[in-house]
Amino acid sequence: MIVYTLVDGSIDFFGNPAVDLVDFFTGTMWRPNGAEPSFGLLALLSGTILIAGGTLLVAGPLGIGAAIYLSEFAGPRFRSIAKPVIELLAGIPSIVYGFFALLVISPIFQEYLGASYFNAASAIVVMSVMVLPIIISVSDDAMKAIPRSLREASLSMGATKWETATKVVMPAASSGIMASVLLGLARAIGETMIVVLAAGSVAGFSFNIFGETQTMTSYIAQVATGDIPPGVAVSAAFAVGLVLFAITYIINSLASKVVDRIRRGSAPKSAGGKIEKVLRKLAARFSFRSRPRDSESLLRRRQLIGKIGSQSMALCIFLAGAFLIILLASVLVQGIGVIDLTFLTEFPSSSPDRAGIYPVVIGSLSLMGLTMLFAIPVGVGAAAYLNEFARDTRFTRLLRRIIQNLAGVPSIVFGLVGLYIFSRMFGFGASLLSGALTLAIMSLPVIVVTTEEALRAVPMTFREAAKGLGATKWQTVRHHVLPNAVPGIMTGTILSLSRAIGETAPILFIAAVFEKTAPSGIMDGFMALPVTIFYWTRHPNGEFHDLAAGTILVLLAILLSMNALAIYIRHRAQKRRDW
């Protein structure tokens, strides 16, 4: 369906006489409107590369460092604090990061580094924090999967912990670490809201990090917000979306292959063994010959290196934690003042002191309810089919692969799909229904994966016991497997819905800037919290920024209570579980 949308939409674009296919891939000018439009993708691509590459340079080392500390040095108490912090970072909607980038980080860069109001640098910094959780958790998993026996072997030969971590664990986990960075990269390429808010909308073939720039995603968003007049420039969004989809798809499937292999537990082969060998030869040639050979000073030096190393890794985690605190604090300080009864019960208005978000909250909540209605039956059904009924055939493997890769599709691409299929083709227009269907597709992969996990956790013996009594497969699943998996399914579903409700990009095409009433039917237009935050953050009048911050607080409060609910359900189920 995604592919159909993108290809079909793109045909429209490439069929246009103003468009030259060669120029699309090789041109460096991206000027979609005006008398002589020109579509040189390289202009957008350079912006994407600049921002995603910059993000990788910042987040890669930080994330791997933090993961090393977590998996090799941190005690259980530290882990129990650090893990929720990382999960929290992962749970913050990207619109909040965007707000933070434009209104907190950018002014600092403007003041001290001479950056322009919109600049790539602040997008890079904030995006780095956003992709950190992915890099940390996947790298941490990869290193944790390295058998304890390897660490013991190294330690028992008198290696320090640091030497064990860098010379044994990291090389053995190198493929997983690589995958984590790839996943982070795909995420950075597909991220929309931070870039569109912080980096501006001037496409140019330049790599100036303090200047304005436009990426593929932010162009699509620009189309979505109606800044671009209809016509060929709009259909260009589909072509850009197609390229974006292709790039992220390739990166994600590379990464997920590696992650799969690690999960299945086949010995991860040390990638880059040859490179390592060459590097070592080079290092041997240039290395300091007069290393202290006397054992005492050598030992002291090795211990020192280990100490410095592990502490700088710890610093990576503290940086992430500090960032989280600053982010929450700045939003709180800016937003707490506007929250009062008027704010929660009134309608948005052009005068900031009378504006409220009542219909916006209603819009978001009904959007969530409707999304749930579509996503849960389909998601749980698909998972039950895959896990309980289907055999491991080429078809199911393909299905799984598709679901897995769906999870990595940039959310703005879902926006295009929603616009094309639900709004236009099915004629649902800019309605709640279109929005909910779009979000439902987007949350499907997570629901399927978490449900499958919950089903798998139900012991095989239950199924065998039921079948031994002559129950059919359906009865077994219906009476024994599903009921026991309900808490797990609910936890996963709530988490995926809380993700969906915080998403801006997919409904950017569909949600309204302003509606006079709260939605009363599924075909009504609607406003949604993240989209309203987006428009208020971009508002030239600074008082609206406070309103945006206040709205963020409301959104975070909703997300937090949903997460708390999920944790409560998990906790209660674990306590009650007697198997």
Partner 1 sequence: MLNIFKVLGNQGKPAESVMTGQPKGDAMSIEGLNISYGSNHAVKGVKMSIPLKSVTAFIGPSGCGKSTLLRALNRMNDEIEGCKTEGTVTWKGVNILDPKVDPVALRSKVGMVFQKPNPFPKSIFDNIAYGPRIHGITERSELEKIVEKSLRNAALWDEVKDRLDESAMGLSGGQQQRLCIARALAIDPEVILMDEPCSALDPIATSKIEDLIEELKKKYTVVIVTHNMQQAARVSDYTGFMYLGELIEFGETEQIFQKPNERLTENYITGRFG
Q: Which parts of 172-201 interact with partner 1 (CB under 8 A)? A: 172
Residue 197 and residue 99 in contact, taking contact as beta carbons nearer than 8 Å: yes
296 lines the binding site for partner 1 (CB under 8 A): yes
Write out the two tokens for 448: 């399927």
291 lines the binding site for partner 1 (CB under 8 A): yes
Output the furthest CA–CA distance in the chain (Å, rounded). Answer: 81
Among residues 535, 524, 509, the alpha carbon closest in space to that of 349 is found at 535
The residue among 150 and 398 lying less far from partner 1, judged by its C-beta, is 150
CB of 168 to partner 1, least distance (A): 6
Judging by beta carbons within 10 Å of its beta carbon (0-12, 13-18, 19+), is residue 467 exposed, middle or buried? middle
The residue among 156 and 351 lying less far from partner 1, judged by its C-beta, is 156
Residue 205 and residue 42 in contact, taking contact as beta carbons nearer than 8 Å: yes
279 lines the binding site for partner 1 (CB under 8 A): no
CB of 271 to partner 1, least distance (A): 11
Binding map of partner 1 across residues 76-105, x = CB under 8 A, - = no contact: x-----------------------------
The residue among 289 and 576 lying less far from partner 1, judged by its C-beta, is 289
Q: Which parts of 413-432 interact with partner 1 (CB under 8 A)? A: none
The single residue among 270, 461, 472, 475 that binds partner 1, judged by CB under 8 A, is 270
Among residues 2, 147, 132, the alpha carbon closest in space to that of 55 is found at 132
CA angle 412–324–541, rounded 5-degree value:
65
Q: CA-to-CA distance for 112 and 426, rounded, in angstroms?
A: 51
The single residue among 11, 298, 308, 344 that binds partner 1, judged by CB under 8 A, is 298
The single residue among 17, 34, 114, 158 that binds partner 1, judged by CB under 8 A, is 158
Task: Give me the sign of the Cα torsion angle 387, 145, 442, 417.
Answer: negative
Mind giving me the DSSP string for 433-485?
Answer: HHHHHHHHHHHHHHHHHHHHHHHHTS-HHHHHHHHHTT--HHHHIIIIIHHHH
CB of 154 to partner 1, least distance (A): 7
The residue among 171 and 352 lying less far from partner 1, judged by its C-beta, is 171
CB of 511 to partner 1, least distance (A): 49
144 lines the binding site for partner 1 (CB under 8 A): no
The single residue among 15, 292, 337, 369 that binds partner 1, judged by CB under 8 A, is 292
Mind giving me the DSSP string for 101-153?
Answer: IIIIIHHHHHHHH---SS-HHHHHHHHHHHHHHHHHHHHHHHHHTS-HHHHHH
H or E stretch covering 13 = helix 2-14
Total number of residues binding partner 1 (CB under 8 A)?
36
574 lines the binding site for partner 1 (CB under 8 A): no
163 lines the binding site for partner 1 (CB under 8 A): yes
167 lines the binding site for partner 1 (CB under 8 A): yes
Q: For binding to partner 1 (CB under 8 A), which residues are involved?
A: 75-76, 147, 149-160, 163, 167-168, 171-172, 267-270, 284, 287, 289, 291-293, 295-296, 298-299, 302-303
